[in-house]
Chain A
Amino acid sequence: MARVLERRATGERATGAPAGAGGPIEAGAVVTLRVARFDPERDVAMRWQTYQVPYTPGMTVLDALIAVKERQDGSLAFRSSCRMGVCGSCGMLVNGKPRLTCQTQVSELGTHLEVAPLPNHDVIKDLVPDLSGTFERHRKVHPYIIRPAADEAEMRAPTREFAQTPEEMERYLQFAYCLKCSLCVAACPTAATDPLFLGPQALAQAYRYIADSRDAGWEVRADAVDGVHGVFSCHLAGACSEACPKGVDPALGIQLLKRSLLTGPPHAEPAPVIGPRPVVPEDPARPRPKAPPPTV
């Protein structure tokens, strides 16, 4: 446990780092990056290292880090993939706020940047947070549609659709945009003190599924979130919603989840399957369709 705590990023800032100011930056300007470094094989604590890179128009914080890695220090570790705000892997604490670095323009923040790993997560190396805790908590809320036992055959080999009106879809749609980037967890003051707290990401996803008219998993999810470190640990600071790069409002999801636990599930019966069962002529050579495994 001691080792884990040593590695937990707290959002500590470098002393005396200029905050920097956003606005147009002239071509040819130099961007100064103070970057948190931590090598678990050598370091006992986080240290800061400064780099300078030439500014280019349209440069993102991720571009600046890539420039450092390519031309100055190949040992700098950070994580990214899509570079377009979709995969959720490039979250870091930039000038004191959790942000997706591929979506953050240097010009928004000025030429002085301070980049650290996401707080409230263990650090694997340098700017790479360990997101496995977020994914584990996400799994605990059963993040997939659960159908009544009578529909098991239909779920295994789907032949028809489940009814859902546009209004019913609206009830959960915004929560379905979650990337699992964990910025909300990094911003959450409760997650900072209680590492067992389910956290805004998982709780908002619990609501996303119980609000889905096709779902019948109310009981198992209520069991998962209605405990000591569950939804009632939220202090309603709202920092999660402010941090979310996708416009998800996890604080709203958490409040709606609390209401559901007090007043009952958002819908009594899950939506039925609709449409006539298609008559497919029996063809022994035709392979049977297989349902994909639930995505988590």
Chain B
Amino acid sequence: MRESKLWALHLFSGAALVVLLGVHMVVQHYPTILSWLGWVEDDVRGFASVAARGASAGWSVIYVLLLGFALYHGLYGLRRILHEIWYSPAATRAVDAAVVVVGLVVFVYGLVAVFQAIPLGGAS
């Protein structure tokens, strides 16, 4: 794939992270802002709240998007740095392959964690 496409996705993932991390920060750490928005919850970081969010399809989508964009954004940045340090064609190919494998493994692991939370929340 052309570098411009990967770079454009890097920019897009950065913008998406600002939104998704903003949602995460407000929900988890800024109850005052939540109350301005009319969402009053006693203990947003308590087990019941976390499990309920884990069981919700909407939150699961947010978690998966957050996982995918954060992984892509971070690994793309790491790949660019490594390409600058190890610039031989063989090293370039090895770094690309390693980044894809690490990205896929962590993404699948994250997906499993997200979907395991659904029955947990459903049972509570």
Contact = CB atoms under 8 A, between A and B. Distances in A.
Interface of A: 190, 193-197, 222, 226-233, 258, 261-262
A232 B84 contact: no
A233 to B, nearest CB: 7
A228 B87 CA distance: 9
Given A231-B3, A262-B7, 8 more contacts: A194-B85, A195-B87, A226-B3, A226-B4, A227-B3, A232-B80, A258-B7, A262-B8
Interface in B3-20: 3-4, 7-8
7 contacts: A193-B84, A227-B2, A228-B83, A229-B83, A233-B80, A258-B4, A262-B8
B60 interface: no
Contacts of A258: 4, 7
B69 to A, nearest CB: 19
Contacts of A194: 83-85, 87
A8 to B, nearest CB: 13
Nearest to B85: A193
Q: Name which of B2, B80, B85, B92 has the most chain A CB atoms within 10 A of its CB.
A: B2
Contacts of A230: 3
Contacts of A261: 2, 4
A12 B11 CA distance: 36
Contacts of B85: 193-194
Interface in B37-78: none
B87 A232 contact: no
Interface in B77-96: 80, 83-85, 87, 92
A232 to B, nearest CB: 5
Q: Name which of B7, B80, B84 has the most chain A CB atoms within 10 A of its CB.
A: B84
A220 to B, nearest CB: 14
- Rank and list the top 10 A-B pairs by shortest CB-CB distance, nearest first: A261-B4, A194-B84, A232-B3, A232-B7, A226-B2, A196-B87, A193-B84, A194-B87, A226-B4, A226-B3
